[in-house]
Amino acid sequence: MPPYGINGKENKMEKLNKEQRETLMGSTVVVFKFVKQGWNYMTREKIYTSIECKERKGWIVGFRYLPYGKEVVEDNDNYFVSYKKPCFPCVLISFSPMMNSVQVPMDGYTLFN
């Protein structure tokens, strides 16, 4: 279970284009991994870890890019810009209409037929 975002190593997960995301939206999937957020307090970096879980069936309700690493703040005259990079894509999957969605890495699910 490799952690994401340690020492600035970018994860090479597949990024989906708009047509692929629209096709997958609402699809039924089987989930076997999810993403857990943590912190490296020594370097003050955000870390995401992929964790194996019991297989569950759910459906895709959205997509998200999770930023990891340090936050970069630029101060330009009268405003500042805050952003984190790099990011890696994940899928939001819900198991029930009454539950919040779960963040799942791109390699953590399979389509259910």
Is 88 domain-assigned? yes
Is 98 domain-assigned? yes
Is 62 domain-assigned? yes
Q: What is the mean pLDDT of each run of 10 residues along the chain (113 residues)?
A: 40 68 91 89 82 94 81 62 69 93 92 85
Is 113 domain-assigned? no
Is 63 domain-assigned? yes
Tokens representing 36 are: 């857990």
Predicted TM-score (pTM) of this structure: 0.73
Q: What range defines the domain where residue 85 resides?
A: 3-108
Residue 53 and residue 82 in contact, taking contact as beta carbons nearer than 8 Å: no
How high is the pLDDT of residue 94? Answer: 96
Is 37 domain-assigned? yes
How high is the pLDDT of residue 69? Answer: 66
How high is the pLDDT of residue 102? Answer: 94
Q: Provide the number of structural domains found in the chain.
A: 1
What does residue 32 show for φ and ψ, rounded to 5 degrees?
-130, 5
Q: Over the range 25-60, which residues count as b (16 or more CB within 10 Å of their CB) and which as e?
A: eeeebebebbbeeeebeeeebbbbbbeeeeeeebbb
